[in-house]
A and B are shown apart, each in its own frame.
Chain A
Amino acid sequence: MEVLRGLRYVFYLIFHPFNGFWDLKHEKKGNLGSAFVIVGLLGVTFILRRQATGFIFNTVNLLELNIFVEIMSVILPFALWCVANWSLTTLLDGEGSIKDIIITSAYALAPLVIINLPLILVSNVITLDEGAFYYFFISLSVVWAGALMLVGTSVVHQYSMTKTLFCTVAIVIGMGLIIFIGLLFFSLIQQVWSFIYTVYKEISLRL
């Protein structure tokens, strides 16, 4: 019930972002549950967009569709964004907790779901000539979500717009850094593992 109430709030929030995000945090209008539902729906939207978009607009080879990759292409950037956001704003006097950040970011992504999900249906009944509408709405959803993300970050941390813009750039760089360190970590683990394995093999062959 709580989750449903949170989801219904999305339709208010995307049209009134400033009030919406303020109440989201301070009036507890949203909750983690509905945030995860939105991210989950976004994952579903991405898969459906690949799989069910009309043939005319679907330029992806369906033989190479990988649902796991599609889901990860939503969840991984989202998680990275939240972690990098929290790490940076904690140092830069941000007022949002990690919970606030997750809820805000998830709600900001709502237009991607709300616009793209019906668009998948529409893409099955329009022709190439009407494609301009299709591409317009796709761009609209991205721009809308991006704007909401900015407003959300500024409201949740009580930042000015300039500070928000600066922070956003820093967060994106931070995401890159996390990926780099992650890859480094795995590559080192691999080295260590192969070392241990080699020692084990050496001993087992000699005994």
Chain B
Amino acid sequence: MKLRVCLILSLILIVLFTSVAMADAPYGSYTYDYWGDPVPAPAPYVPTRLLDGDALGIGPLTGASDLFISDDNKIYIADTGNNRIVVLNSSWKVERIIDSFVKNGQQDTFNSPQGVFVTEEDALYIADTGNARIIELTSKGEFVREIGPPKADIIPADFEYKPTALVVDRAKRLYVIAQGVNQGIMEFDSEGTFRTYMGAPRVSANLFQYFVRLFYTDEQLSRTIDFVPTEYNNINMDKDGFIYATTSSISVYDIQGAIAARATDDRVAPVRKLNATGTDILRRRGYFPPVGDITFYSRGYFEGGQSMFYDVCLDDYGIYSVLDNRRGRIFTYDGDSNILFIFGGKGNRLGQFNNPVALSKLGENFIVLDRSISGHGQITVFEPTDYGRLVIKAVSSHNEGNYQEATAAWQEVLKYNANSELAYIGMGKSYLDQDEFYTAMEYFKLGNKRDYYSKAFKLYRKEVIADYFGLIVGCIVLLSVALYIRSKIKSRREVDL
């Protein structure tokens, strides 16, 4: 008897513990619904691996600040504190360490390089921040050229050039983010000469600020902070050559205003997608602008304040993800800026960060570079769950025009997550295509999609009117006949009187 109880108990325990081990994401994943409330969602990605410099056998990655993954899946880390670039292959083995190069016959080194970029032709560009220059090397680490500080009339003589991030397009133009620059992104032509600033963030000032300034004396005016545009802090380029840039210096009040107004314009934009002329072309069709967290304490409380975007990473079909340094979260949006996933967090467990600075994608895995408490770089690898893969599949099938596949995927998504408004909308769209207007209406209602609901409703109404046309006309005829007879009787009575 006793033995049997023991056996059953241990069986129960085994079952319990194995099931606990399955749910291993140390964060609560969620999304925001139409009302701006956070609603729980299954984990789209789970952390599977943590690496640091010691595990790689190259000593701590002191203050590492950038991580780039090239087209051939090599991982480049800007190991800022050690003045070197570390190159890993896709199976996380050290392939090369670049800490010096031969320039004009002389040995030269980096000084706290903060940014690294690799072109399709394997040309390696390094933002050598401390030396105020950009270095181009071949894939073998041989020096090609040096691009120094920009020279132009619009740049003041005492300007201190500190490039921190860069991208290079197919025409070999360089787009550089430098510290303390708020005029936009610095554009250099293929020769390395400074051309212009592009994509300057818009200045935002509200009516109240203008009003107050009317009454200020000159001295007060000189003491107030100028309305300067915000400065970018990171940059990335997608396959079509569009530039994504992030900024973390937008005030919490501007962010809250944009959320409250459900802004769809680019006035308050912590992440931008710029075309070659520097115009923001990011589609903002989500229920809320892509600003990270929607509900947060503006100040005072633990981790209060808006999300602080430090990096952006790009996927096919316009899907993009941003890294929130303040709360250590990753926000994934689709090409219309609908929120797909939110995951990650601050802490010391696997999958949590202390000071995440760079986000990249290796295949379907997310790679996050965290500077951690000690300041030593740590790399976390996130792998997608079935749920995460399904959502990506649904979005990409829809973008490919493969609507049947998309519908099937959304249907699966709903099995995992009954809170997914996007899935309801996706289903609704497919029912709309199949001329099942009433079902489509119900799905759009669940997805809170009023414009599409209106479209479906219009067609449904037409259908109903067509079905009951005879009845409606009959009622109108009967009613008018009744009214006519009534008025006749009334007038006869009046005559009688």
Report which A residues bind B (CB closer than 8 A): 55-56, 59, 61, 125, 127-129
Contacts and interface: CB of A to CB of B under 8 A. Distances in A.
Nearest to A131: B454
B35 A61 contact: yes
B35 A125 contact: no
B458 A56 contact: no
B451 interface: yes
Nearest to B458: A127
Contacts of B450: 55-56, 59, 128
Nearest to B37: A61
A185 B451 CA distance: 48
A174 B204 CA distance: 37
Contacts of B170: none
Interface in B414-473: 445, 450-451, 453-455, 457-458, 461
Interface string B34-75: 010000000000000000000000000000000000000000
Contacts of B35: 61
Nearest to B33: A61
20 contacts: A55-B445, A55-B450, A55-B453, A56-B450, A56-B453, A56-B454, A56-B457, A59-B450, A61-B35, A125-B461, A127-B454, A127-B455, A127-B457, A127-B458, A127-B461, A128-B450, A128-B451, A128-B454, A129-B454, A129-B458
A192 to B, nearest CB: 30
Contacts of B461: 125, 127
A61 to B, nearest CB: 5
Contacts of A56: 450, 453-454, 457
State the 10 A-B residue pairs at the shortest beta-carbon distance, nearest first. Answer: A128-B454, A127-B454, A127-B458, A61-B35, A56-B454, A56-B450, A55-B445, A127-B457, A55-B453, A56-B453
A129 B451 CA distance: 9
A204 to B, nearest CB: 37
B38 to A, nearest CB: 14
Query: For the side of the interface on B, what is the size category?
Result: 10 to 19
A59 B448 CA distance: 9
A52 to B, nearest CB: 15
Contacts of B458: 127, 129
Given A56-B454, A128-B454, 18 more contacts: A55-B445, A55-B450, A55-B453, A56-B450, A56-B453, A56-B457, A59-B450, A61-B35, A125-B461, A127-B454, A127-B455, A127-B457, A127-B458, A127-B461, A128-B450, A128-B451, A129-B454, A129-B458
A61 B35 CA distance: 7
A61 B448 CA distance: 10
A81 B455 CA distance: 43
A94 B457 CA distance: 53
A43 B169 CA distance: 63
A125 B457 CA distance: 9
A125 B445 CA distance: 15
B469 to A, nearest CB: 16
Nearest to B459: A127
Contacts of A129: 454, 458
Nearest to A59: B450
A61 B33 CA distance: 11
Interface centre among B35, B451, B457 (most CB of A within 10 A): B457
B302 to A, nearest CB: 26
Nearest to A63: B35
Interface in B100-152: none
B418 to A, nearest CB: 15
A56 B444 CA distance: 10
A46 to B, nearest CB: 20
Contacts of A125: 461
A6 B453 CA distance: 43
Contacts of A59: 450
A129 B450 CA distance: 12
Contacts of B454: 56, 127-129
Nearest to B448: A55
Contacts of A61: 35
Nearest to B457: A127
